[in-house]
Amino acid sequence: MKTVRVHASRTYDICIERGLLQTAGPQIAAVHAPCTCMLVSDETVWSLYGETVKESLSSAGFAVHTFIIKPGESSKSTQSLVLLWETLAENKITRSDLLIALGGGVVGDLTGFAAATFLRGIAYVQIPTTLLAMVDSSVGGKTAVDLAHGKNLAGAFCQPSLVLCDPDALNTLTPDIFADGMAEVIKYGFINHPALLQKLTEDYDIADIIALCVEDKRDIVEADERDNGCRQLLNLGHTLAHGIELHSGYTISHGSAVAIGMVLITKAAIHAGLCDKDTLATLLGLLAKFNLPTQTQFTCEQLCEAALEDKKRKGGSITLVIPTKTGTSELKKYPVDDLPAFVSGAWEIL
Ligand SMILES: NC(=O)c1ccc[n+]([C@@H]2O[C@H](COP(=O)([O-])OP(=O)(O)OC[C@H]3O[C@@H](n4cnc5c(N)ncnc54)[C@H](O)[C@@H]3O)[C@@H](O)[C@H]2O)c1
Ligand SMILES: [Zn+2]
């Protein structure tokens, strides 16, 4: 088993191994004494893996309650959160009990925020079942629900006690959802990991790729848990992706939007003389390999307007993640007034 230890405000392990869904009970019992737990999942994941995980937990001595949401972003809501809080209270969950998230980023973010807030904080475990959740959302302790005014507007930093990644769970993902996660994998490569990009061009084992990405995220989270500095590197492609998702009415998936956002910011960097053209060629090649899109019908004005409304903006400036060469990116602050001129450079590069 590959284990990545995270030293943040809580120290915990991320375990990556095929078959972990079957042994979740004993794995969790090794870090948290058997207790009453609330196993949170969505209907799709529950129908595939729910009973397996529940049985493993019961055999290891946990008393298991379940809370199942409808699949999709609309469940990452204040309504689901209140219902989950009430269900925890109804089942007399105490501070020595446990929440367990079995699912993608939606289940993980909702469960994490409930754990951060119920009884002022109880422990939780992440069992991510999408590639995005394994390489990104289950690591680092950002938890949230969406508000009518925007995604992730109410949340907390709250590290899990354990993360269990079973790469076999990825076998049941649709190609589109797998590709969404691949956009984030490619992102890690362009932030600071050329060897990961090289691996993606070869025959690879997805378990190795997950481990490399988790180590990258671990390093960033350990250096900047609260997202005031280098953690912002994880926003590569995301500033413009935000506008693409918004203007599409969220019909373009997050991973697809990030793929396009990375292409646009790389092109803008090339136009500004900050990046070489080989970087773009490598990026386009990898995105094509994983059937991710590279073009948008939205205008520079539309994307900049959305970027400036995003919560990542601070005062009169915005921090962008700029690729400078294949496998290297840097944070650069721009006055908000300069953003449209910089981003419009992307439309000048073919
Ligand atoms: N906390 C963080 O740091 C962080 C980072 C990135 C993204 N996020 C959040 O993550 C969410 C997106 O996560 P996601 O892409 O995992 O979406 P998701 O949780 O909605 O899962 C996508 C779909 O895949 C299905 N699914 C999950 N696992 C499956 C499996 N093994 N087999 C078949 N189907 C499966 C789900 O039912 C769902 O329909 C967003 O809300 C985003 O804001 C959080
Ligand atoms: Zn993302």
pLDDT tens column, 112-143? 999 999 999 999 999 999 999 999 999 999 99
Average pLDDT, the chain: 96
Residue among 114, 207, 196 at smallest CA distance from 160: 114
- The angle at the Cα of 218, spanning 217 to 223, to the nearest 5 degrees, equals 100
pLDDT for 313 equals 66
Amino acid, single-letter form, for residue 108: G
Tokens in use for 126?
């992440």
Residue 314 confidence (pLDDT) above 90: no
Residues in the chain: 350
Residue 312 confidence (pLDDT) above 80: no
CA 106–ligand 1 middle distance (angstroms): 5
pLDDT for 318 equals 93
Q: Which residues make beta-bridge pairs with 42?
A: 69
Mean pLDDT confidence for 70-98 = 98
Mean pLDDT confidence for 149-153 = 90
Residue 311 confidence (pLDDT) above 70: no
pLDDT tens-place string over residues 37-68: 999 999 999 999 999 999 999 999 999 999 99
Instruction: Report the residue among 20, 80, 132 best suited for mutation to probe ligand 1: largest number of ligand atoms under 8 A from its CB.
Output: 132
Angular region, 237: left φ>0, alpha ψ -120 to 50, beta rest: left
pLDDT for 149 equals 87
Residues with CB under 6 A from ligand 1: 42, 44-45, 48, 71-73, 76, 103-107, 109, 129-130, 132-133, 136-137, 140, 142, 151-152, 169, 172-173, 177, 180
Mean pLDDT confidence for 150-159 = 95
CA atoms within 13 A on the CB side of 255: 24
pLDDT tens-place string over residues 166-193: 999 999 999 999 999 999 999 999 999 9
Confidence of residue 159 (pLDDT cuts 50, 70, 90): very high
Domains of the chain (ranges; CATH) run 2-172 (3.40.50.1970), 175-348 (1.20.1090.10)
Instruction: Report the residue among 6, 21, 129, 130 best suited for mutation to probe ligand 1: largest number of ligand atoms under 8 A from its CB.
Output: 130
Residue among 1, 341, 340 at smallest CA distance from 167: 1
Residue among 70, 72, 64, 71 at smallest CA distance from 93: 64
pLDDT for 315 equals 76
CA 63–ligand 2 middle distance (angstroms): 34
pLDDT tens-place string over residues 218-275: 999 999 999 999 999 999 999 999 999 999 999 999 999 999 999 999 999 999 999 9
CA 37–ligand 1 middle distance (angstroms): 22
pLDDT for 30 equals 98
The CA–CA distances, whole Å, from 169 to 34, 51, 130, 137, 198 equal 24, 14, 7, 16, 25
